Structure 1
Amino acid sequence: MSHTAHIRSHRKPRRSASTIAMRAGVAGGVLSTLAVAGASGSANAAEPVTQTLELPTLTADLAAQVAQSADVTQQAAASYELQAERDAAAAKAAKEAKADLAEAKKKAAEEKEKAAEAARKAAAERASRSAERATLSASADTGSSDSSGSSAGSSTSTSTATGSAAAVVAFVQSQVGDAYVSGGTGPNSWDCSGLVQAAFKSVGVDLPRVSQSQSTAGTQVGLSNLQPGDILYWGGAGSAYHVGVYVGDGMFVGAQNSSTGVVKASLDYDPPSGAVRVL
């Protein structure tokens, strides 16, 4: 027997193939686990990077939203501006319409007065104006009246006026020669009703401004019973187109028209339609 036979061999026993395979499998599993864990850890570590990479997309969306909001705001501003322009245009149109209305009323009043003046002229032209104006001039210079053939002049009462009537007569006679101006109320130019109104105002009597109203301001009297200071009217009572003041002796004073101005004339020059007595 060998002298070493009783001593165990110092060599490690050989491993079997199955042992080696099992250990390899265990090692592979461990490595796989480590790989998975490592991959998971890498994935977890990479998440912030992934979120950071998505920020440009979110920022682009936000920019688009901001741009859309700005566009809406701009459209709203444009709408408000358009509405403001429309409101301004409407206000301007209303102002112009108001001015046009005032101008139309003014022109209507002027046309009305012109129509009244035309009616007075038409009435005056019923007689031979050239011959009667010559008579008018002579009467104004001498203070006499033409009573021949004048039924109204011959049947009226005395020309002597007293009190307030005398003051009215004196007032209108002092305006003879003044100009006729449509709408005139003195002191140097008159229309027919403006002269009559001013004459009676001088004695404290307030008359309406227009001839239509003045023709019904007092008591109606017949033309055969006139007294100085009576108001004569041409046309219908309440629709008269001309007025004057009877001053006695078959004469009256009135603001006739722009051609003659304020004149003193006989009743035959332009016979009145009626008369009213205020005093």
Structure 2
Amino acid sequence: MSPNALIPSHRKPRRSASSRALRAGVTGGFLTLAVTGATVPANAAEKPVSETQEMPTITAALATSAAKSADAAQQAAFNYERQALQDATEAKADETAGKAKAAAEKKAKAEAEAKKAAEEARQEKEAAQARASRSETRSALSAVSDSGSSSSSSSQATGSAASLVSFLKSQLGKAYVLGSSGPSSYDCSGLTQAAFSQIGIDLPRVSQSQSTAGTQVGLGNLQVGDILYWGSAGSAYHVAVYVGNGNFIGAQNPSTGIVERPLSYDMPTGAVRVL
């Protein structure tokens, strides 16, 4: 017998232990781990961990898919943010355009109202001037009529004026011919020149010169023998002779010839006195 046969072993008996196995897998793209356990005899030999753990295999395709998913999410977020910014910019532009349009319409309306007011003011001014002109014309006609009545007797008393009027009346009914100075036809300045030549006064041939041949007089202070003119002094386009009683004699036009008419028929612009 061995001397050590009765010496108890210093080793403690092995207790039964659970052997756990770590298992892993991929479910829906997520890594899952499972631990399973089994009771084995204490004296059973423990296997290396490498023999009991199963690790998932992450393939290149899975990594690529995950990367693509992340890129897609990032791109979607970027697109959303860009669209939101674009919508905000368009909304602001529409608001600005609306304000600009409203301002332009308001300005156009104000300009139209101002233009209308200015036009109304202009028309009112012209109407007032026309009323004033008509009033002055009536006053002038009234004054001429009065002066004509008072000077009719003096025309008979003054030999030169009487001779002038007599000659003019003898020409009534004759034809108007432009450029003619008698004796069978006249134009306006040809008639006045011929009439004044009867009393020894030599007048210029044309209306423009006759309108400045004497002293300018007002239409309210006419005397028999005054030369009436139409147009401005120095550029008159028609002349005749005042014969008293508010009338004048002149070669009017080819339709009427030489006629006697009241001043109201065609109010002259001014008059000159050569007698």
- TM-score normalised according to structure 2 size: 0.46
Please identify which structure carries the higher helix content: 1
Specify which structure has the bigger relative contact order, considering alpha-carbon pairs within 8 angstroms and separated by 6 or more residues: 1
Structure index of larger Rg: 2
- TM-score normalised according to structure 1 size: 0.46
